Chain A
């Protein structure tokens, strides 16, 4: 046996995984290279990227390391908070305040010898296509829709039909309470994240008039404090939802308003939940979904068994219910579809009304969209001079600017794709 106990593989180390890698099962693709070939690829060649080192990310890193991936990279822009410790099991009390990616990488390398984990403490948007091109697979455990849309669109854009290596399978997981989902996205080949945007729960948005005039729920009072009262009192000073003093201020003002309107139920915890849009999260659900993601990554990397086609959904609140199905690619998906999206609007709709719809529509959800036609700019959010120049168009009717059946291209700074709309008037 090797004397160096912390950096080399010891005999029998992969006894469990090797049972899978040494021979095919009944549902294994004939292309599977059982034995040394597949082990060499997994342990010496395969390079995998993990996006997110939080609830799912910690689990993903541990599973990948134990499964035999040896070259793992991880990106996360967050630092560790005390409320992470009930599930993000690579972090301890003493780590609070430190970058998640760095602490997680160190922990894994200490616990699972011979695995290289390279952390990047920052945003996925900091990296370019060359960076993403170096990986064989990307596993994503994020809680942000925006970040997922960005990496999804980036990986779809990277696909070059001439170069099979440019297709990077994306495995994405997400959880909420006892529920979660895992999916496999083969960019351009199968349904992408953008294709299924309408499956997301609609975020609870309270109408401004309710908040301002007819509050009924404690949530309405809290929204009043954060959306209306904070800017009124503090002007441009940014609300920091991680600052207990700021939360305290909101809580006290929400409570005062609640009392005025005889509304019950404003608590510190609810205040924090509403302003930070907190989603309940537990270790066990993260473990299930992360395991499912890593299992798919392992099967794709090794061809040892068929992989998920393409969506696994789990609901653990009432017994164990899961649903595995193929989510279909949308032909009018702005990221992977190629066809324009047909939109029917009334003839008297203004540009502003159209923009409102683009922000709210479940399958579009583009914040701050800029609009143009092949020949002219309709409305641009930036730079300021162009915004100012196109602002008068907001009041104009869309039908004055675009003919029936005409195309509008929608772009947004936060998303690396163009949405092409075909406008029909009704």
Chain B
């Protein structure tokens, strides 16, 4: 008899036949989230972190542990007694006087030997002054900056905004219990958002094999066991056909109709405990939710690809992220053609994943095969359309498969330049009305950064005066502003350990989302208040 090990199962995903290697075991708990594709994206990423503060090293810790490819930590300053007291990635007292980045990097790389880390002992302002330095900054896949002075931040954010292929920039600001952060990016194409909703099962427009199964099912000819095991999609396809025949081809729309539709399913039950019919009734909502193309996907069809700014100084051709975004747009256009194609189903491609349901093994496996076969056919049509219409655009086959699998949930985010939102004072003012605590905290942090850059004493009055310049004349500051301003006056330069650790986790989550293009990063300014323990978003 053959050993189970040598059995073939016919699916590449079952190829893991023995205990995984030590790398897979080490990363097991995260591979269950972002899989090998996410891991390999992390491993080929290169992150630059500017300033070796407690917040910065906390962020890096959470990127080194999951295994990013490379990081550079840039800081020209020496470790102060204060740094030695609040930064876990320094050697306490004995680090005082030595360079911050050089002290921190070995303690960070020690966390994961597969990560390459480098300390860069240079002032960022000096780096940004030369072409060589600017190109070096642009060569990373992600740049993160904590509490930079306002002028430096302006220069850096403009440099990185100028060119579609430049790395995204995460700007982090914090003082005491308050903080905010912002991701500057042109475009983020998300191929695997890990949505928790199931894609359409194609119940209202059944593909031939599914329709055939439904048609050939005669409830009266089945024995009680068979009757209790008809899979719910078959019941719903039949019920939908019947309803449409009796209602001029329309689906149940209003509440009373939906209730009547459910009642019709209930009436089919031969015994009270037929769970498959209960399930069909519970899943009946799918019928009215099935549209050929969800509106979020339709709006992606209308997106025009970004055109490089006229002043783009990108000299070394298009970057990896630019190429992958271009490929994504090609796939979106192909998807539009697929939906319009007379050869196609007139809707998004079928996904082969089925939810579990009350039925017997044979029926489930049969249904699963049916969905898989049809999904395969539609994927082949998708590829045919891609090849016919975009013969010169090379798209990686794995990316095409992933895209086709996720067409119900793919997403494109368009970002803003750092600071662009604040240029529209009336938008800021209306945000201050609708989201007073978030907007107040954000404005107070901007004011703090401005005062510190100019060497002005941080007092509540100075902060308020600065904030007023950021709003239309005669704007009244809400009570929430007193809270934000008071906290910043109390602790204007405090990088406290808990806030640093909190931000370390938040920024690393966002960095991972940006790098893997899985899950959805935050748009706008994410504001954090650790007095009342809330987060919020403004300026999205």
Contacts and interface: CB of A to CB of B under 8 A. Distances in A.
Contacts of B361: 214-216, 261-263
B496 A305 contact: no
Interface centre among B20, B110, B500, B502 (most CB of A within 10 A): B502
A182 B533 CA distance: 10
B16 A178 contact: no
Contacts of A92: 110
Contacts of B512: 282, 284
A178 B496 contact: no
A314 interface: yes
Given A264-B11, A318-B519, A85 B26 contact: yes
Interface stretch (B76-84, B165-173, B343-351, B423-431): B76-84
The size class of the interface chain B forms with chain A is 35 or more
A83 B86 contact: no
Interface stretch (A23-31, A341-349, A381-389): A23-31
Given A19-B176, A86-B30, A316-B519, A322 B534 contact: yes
B82 A15 contact: yes
B33 A59 contact: no
Contact of B66 (A5, A113, A282): A282
B28 A282 contact: no
Interface stretch (B152-160, B306-314, B484-492): B484-492
Interface in A207-258: 214-217, 244, 247-248, 252-253, 255-256, 258
The size class of the interface chain A forms with chain B is 35 or more
A64 B359 CA distance: 53
Contacts of A216: 356-357, 359, 361, 364-365
A281 B13 contact: no
A14 B85 contact: yes
Given A86-B30, A298-B498, A13 B533 contact: no
A63 B491 CA distance: 19
B81 A266 contact: no
A265 B29 contact: no
B29 A324 contact: no
B25 A83 contact: yes
11 contacts: A5-B92, A10-B84, A17-B496, A17-B497, A25-B490, A86-B30, A87-B65, A269-B31, A285-B505, A289-B505, A316-B519
Contacts of B193: 318
A295 B533 contact: yes
Nearest to B492: A19
Interface string A254-293: 0110110111111111001100001111111111111110
A284 B62 contact: yes
Contact of B14 (A111, A264, A285): A264
Nearest to B175: A19
B85 A15 contact: yes
A299 B496 CA distance: 12
A338 to B, nearest CB: 29
Contacts of B531: 25, 27, 299, 305-306
Nearest to A91: B111
Interface centre among A15, A244, A248 (most CB of B within 10 A): A15
Contacts of A371: none
A267 to B, nearest CB: 5
B508 interface: yes
Contacts of B41: none
Nearest to B501: A291
Interface centre among A11, A17, A217 (most CB of B within 10 A): A17
Contacts, number: 297
Nearest to B526: A320
Interface string A70-106: 0000000000001101110100100000000000000
B497 A16 contact: yes
A163 interface: no
Given A265-B14, A295-B498, A319-B521, A287 B537 contact: no
Contacts of A312: 533-534
Contacts of B505: 283-289, 291
Given A16-B82, A291-B502, A322-B534, 5 more contacts: A5-B93, A264-B13, A287-B504, A314-B535, A324-B532
Given A19-B491, A258-B9, A268-B19, A263 B365 contact: yes
Given A83-B25, A87-B29, A20 B177 contact: yes
A291 B61 CA distance: 14
Interface string B514-540: 000001111100100011111111000
B476 interface: no
Nearest to B177: A305
Q: Which 10 A-B pairs have the closest CB atoms?
A: A287-B505, A12-B81, A288-B505, A26-B486, A15-B82, A13-B85, A291-B501, A66-B497, A291-B502, A19-B491
B490 A63 contact: no
B502 to A, nearest CB: 4
A322 B498 contact: no
